[in-house]
Chain A
Amino acid sequence: MSNRWKLFIFLLVLMAVTLWLAAISYPGRNLRVIACDVGQGDAFLVIRGKTEILVDGGPGNKVINCLNNYLPFWDREIEVIVLTHPQADHYSGLIEVFENYSVKYFLANALDSSSSNYSVLKSLVGGSQTVIINPTSSVSMRLDLIYLDILSPSSEFLADNSVTTYEQKDRRTKELYQTNNGVLGAYTSEQDPNQFSIVAMLSYGEFDALFTGDIDNKLSDDLAEIIKQKYNKPLEYIKVPHHGSKNGLSQSLLGSSNWKIGVISVGKNNSYGHPHQEVLKILGEKDIKILRTDEMGDVVIATDGKNLIIPEN
């Protein structure tokens, strides 16, 4: 056999194997909600077929490993990334994500952070094709069969608590800000960035998951009211706010529905003492299954829209 033939056959085999690997790695029809083990921080990946939603990127760049493990190698586009609020344990990993994937929509507050890493993220997003959306409550979006409702922050809250930085900037920035779409870092605030957390309800069939960012007790109470009004059905999955801090989950938020699973994204032996005993206690009292990334690594929940597959811990 001549070398040319050998080369040809090698190429054919390579193509066949690549195709097989591409086919095998195609994700199933179930929706999966994955709490990535990123240490002390948040990164939640929602994936169904070729559609992915990433809520926060965690500290460091571990989130990339999570994406590698659950996305097929040929899927290089993430449909939606939500950054709940610009704090390092929520956005740092996104820098690497934006370097490695193309992203369709980026949902984030226009709240600025003085950190130089946040500037890196801002310029990276600005230089990409990504559409930036500054969501407020009442915004909803649909992707494939997945619905995403934004529950917080409200536009009133943003109007009251933000100090726009556009005054120093040119008129164009001002106009951009006034359309309230597509800017990162348009204003600063005296308030704790946690208060700006984007809270989102994700629904797929009869399955609902609530992503709460780092909201505090008071916002948890407000959220409970909104949920009672808006959702007249059982809700299953709650991301325990603020890594299980005492100033996060409230009794009334837990009482707002018949939650089945409470997921805590938290680092092993973290210096904050998260999750707090009291939070674990109230979760236990309600008979909610607690799943923690510091104990289990990635926490993967799968659902077909009706039934839930919950890992044992």
Chain B
Amino acid sequence: MRRFLPWLLVTIIIIIRLIYFYQGRPSYPDGTRLRITYRVTSEPIRYSSSQYLRLRGFKVYLPLFPEVNYGDRVIIEGRVDGEILKDPSLIGIKERGGNLYYLRKRLIAFYQKSLPNDHAALVAGMTLGSKANIGQDFWAVLKESGTAHVVVASGMNVTLIASFLTTFLVLVIPRRRAIFLAIVGIWLYALISGFDAPIVRAAVMGSVAFTAQVLGKVYNATRALFLSAFALLFIKTDWLYDLGFILSFVATLSLIIFVPKLQKVFKALPKGIRENLVTTLSAQIGVAPILYIAFGQFNVLSPLANILVLWTVVPVTIIGMISGIISLVTVPIGTLILWLSYPLTLWFISVVNVFG
């Protein structure tokens, strides 16, 4: 009983928070003219003649220019029509000036100038979670083949950064301090990558894991997952509707549950293939029904497509990060290194086009 008491408490708090959230939510009848001032908290998606963003629960489709970027403060006026803000007009836009936003913009511009656009979008998506430059056609193909999750910077990036930082920092400074700096690094990355729900989820979990290490406590992934989910929902209750958040949560949960079991089932397969297959299948078990509900479509071949392309994600992300950092000092050398990702992105795009 003792063990469950804290959880009971947390659950009650979250329920109270949800009730509070729903009651405090203003509702606007159709036709109301609204003026929203808001800081854009996730990257707008660009279509061939419009850009799409979500503002306070409303879908807004703006003309392509001026470009709205993650971090900008915008003033938008429009008419409520269901969950869409119709006839929106952009009244004001103020770019966020901070160094991190500048860094993010500069990196994306570097990818764009160094690779053909689908390839650049793929690298920017994998390393920074930037969806802005993914063309409409390419986005459709990614969705149909069930590989769109790759282009959204995911929890995996956080893991990559965390292990990268700890491996190097431990060499130069004491362990405890290294772990502390790694946590700082994770959160800086979360900020650069647009503070999207999946990244923040992973950042919280990573921080919990690291803290457990420092304190010498046993890290329980399931517990950390639920704890981070509750904490995030408490702070940002509207993430309850954020598909990225839900998918990230469900995928992680089903990885925790099914990976050990499927490892046993496929133990006859060679290691490289098995890892890919097991990870993909485990995640799909939880994610597939949600994708089906959300998009009404599910590609039966998507596990196969995933197995064929997933191995490229880690090297592309690493090449993207290293070349990006080098490009801040010297662009030509950064470009040369970035080109090493071209065969991988070419493979990714070709495979995805077959399945999509």
Contact = CB atoms under 8 A, between A and B. Distances in A.
21 contacts: A10-B315, A14-B343, A15-B340, A17-B343, A21-B342, A21-B346, A22-B339, A60-B49, A61-B135, A62-B48, A67-B116, A68-B117, A73-B115, A73-B116, A73-B119, A74-B339, A76-B114, A96-B117, A101-B113, A120-B65, A120-B66
A307 interface: no
Contacts of B119: 73
Nearest to B66: A120
B237 interface: no
Contacts of A99: 109, 112
A64 B48 CA distance: 11
A14 B346 contact: no
Interface of B, secondary structure class, is: helix
B181 interface: no
Contacts of A11: 340
Contacts of A60: 48-49
A95 B116 contact: no
B118 A14 contact: no
Interface string A101-142: 110000000000000110010000000000000000000000
A18 B114 contact: no
Interface string B54-76: 00000000001110000000000
A100 interface: yes
B182 interface: no
Contact of B339 (A18, A96, A102): A18
A100 B113 contact: yes
Given A60-B48, A68-B116, A100-B120, A14 B66 contact: no
Contacts of A17: 343
Contacts of B114: 76
B340 A14 contact: yes
A171 B355 CA distance: 60
Interface in A3-21: 10-11, 14-15, 17-18, 21
Nearest to B138: A65
Contacts of A64: 117, 135
A95 B115 contact: no
B104 to A, nearest CB: 15
- Closest 4 CB pairs between A and B? A17-B343, A68-B116, A120-B65, A60-B48
Contacts of B118: 68
B93 interface: no
A121 B342 CA distance: 29
A64 B113 CA distance: 12
B148 to A, nearest CB: 20
Interface string A169-192: 000000000000000000000000
